[in-house]
Amino acid sequence: MDLLAALTGSRIRADLIAILFGGRARPWKPMELEAVTGRSHSPIHRELRRLVEAGLLRTTARRPAEFQADTDTPVAREIRRLVLQTRGRVPKLRHALVQLRGRTIAWAVGGSLKGAPGRTAVVVLTSTPKSLVRIQLAELVQGGTELHVMSPSEWVTRLDKGDVFLRRSRRARKLWIIGNWEELTRRERAEIESKLLLQTVRRNWREELSDEWDEDWDPDAPIPGAA
């Protein structure tokens, strides 16, 4: 099922929105859009006119007119996020991760976090073995996209040690693939509480050993008062 088409009520409108908002913002001629979508002149012009009237597209006065997404508006940014969530690699990544049946949180961030504008990084926190995740996503994560797979425990440990990329990834604006911010922070709290509990148990265990241990105890010595 094409979710974007279902939401917009038109397959042609959904295709145009995906093209105009999903990629790099640039002017498009109607003839280009007809070629990309495989649609005829009349329905393309009808849908472009509706999108212009809705305030989602800008058009030029030149002939032939060119159409471009008005990316300066907040609603345009939300439409772009909707397009990325419903078309392209994100839904494919989501489907591939769900098939692994592990507890997973995943998101994508801009690769400029590592000083490489235009690149993308995908972060996956999961209970599934790393090697299995990498095999499952091998065909989907290509073209310079970096894949970072780890358990929630490793995520928390590396954050605590000051991993620069992970800290920037945590603060960055995310395109969620599976999960959300609330779920991420909930998993982090659970891992931190688990680590603190383990540290307390270990500390108490050592204290009990130090309190009860008798350096002079001989396991072979007879028990006093025993017959």
Peptide bond into 117 cis (omega under 30): no
What SS3 class is residue 75? helix
**Whether 7 and 68 share a structural domain:** yes
Q: Are the beta carbons of 109 and 172 closer than 8 angstroms?
A: yes
Q: Are the beta carbons of 112 and 120 closer than 8 angstroms?
A: no
Three-point CA angle 201, 206, 211, nearest 5°: 125
Model confidence pLDDT, tens digit, residues 42-68: 999 999 999 999 888 988 877 778 999
What SS3 class is residue 23? coil
Tell me if 221 is assigned to some domain: no
In the beta sheet, which residues pair with residue 123? 107, 148
CATH number for the domain spanning 151: value is: 3.30.460
CATH number for the domain spanning 42: value is: 1.10.10.10
What SS3 class is residue 1? coil
Instruction: Give Cα 100 distance to the centre of its chain.
Output: 16
* 56's tokens: 């989602």
Tell me if 170 is assigned to some domain: yes
**Whether 37 and 74 share a structural domain:** yes
Least confident window among 23-27, 33-37, 85-89, 221-225 = 221-225
In the beta sheet, which residues pair with residue 69? 57
**Whether 80 and 94 share a structural domain:** no
Tell me if 169 is assigned to some domain: yes
How many structural domains comprise the chain?
2
Model confidence pLDDT, tens digit, residues 158-211: 999 999 999 999 999 898 999 999 999 999 999 999 888 877 877 776 665 555
Q: Range of 121's domain?
A: 89-182
Cα–Cα distance, 42 to 67 (Å, whole number): 16
**Whether 15 and 98 share a structural domain:** no
Model confidence pLDDT, tens digit, residues 85-102: 888 788 899 999 999 989
Please give the DSSP secondary-structure letter assigned to residue 111: G
**Whether 172 and 130 share a structural domain:** yes
Tell me if 206 is assigned to some domain: no
Q: What is the DSSP string of 204-227?
A: HHHHHHHHH--TT--TTSPPTT--
Cα–Cα distance, 175 to 208 (Å, whole number): 49
Q: Which residue has the tokens 């979710």?
A: 3
**Whether 96 and 146 share a structural domain:** yes
Domain boundary among 84, 106, 129: 84
**Whether 157 and 115 share a structural domain:** yes
Tell me if 9 is assigned to some domain: yes
Tell me if 109 is assigned to some domain: yes
**Whether 44 and 102 share a structural domain:** no
**Whether 98 and 174 share a structural domain:** yes
Q: What is the pLDDT of residue 71?
A: 80
Tell me if 187 is assigned to some domain: no
**Whether 106 and 78 share a structural domain:** no
Cα–Cα distance, 175 to 172 (Å, whole number): 10
**Whether 106 and 165 share a structural domain:** yes
Tell me if 198 is assigned to some domain: no
**Whether 117 and 70 share a structural domain:** no
Domain boundary among 84, 117, 145: 84
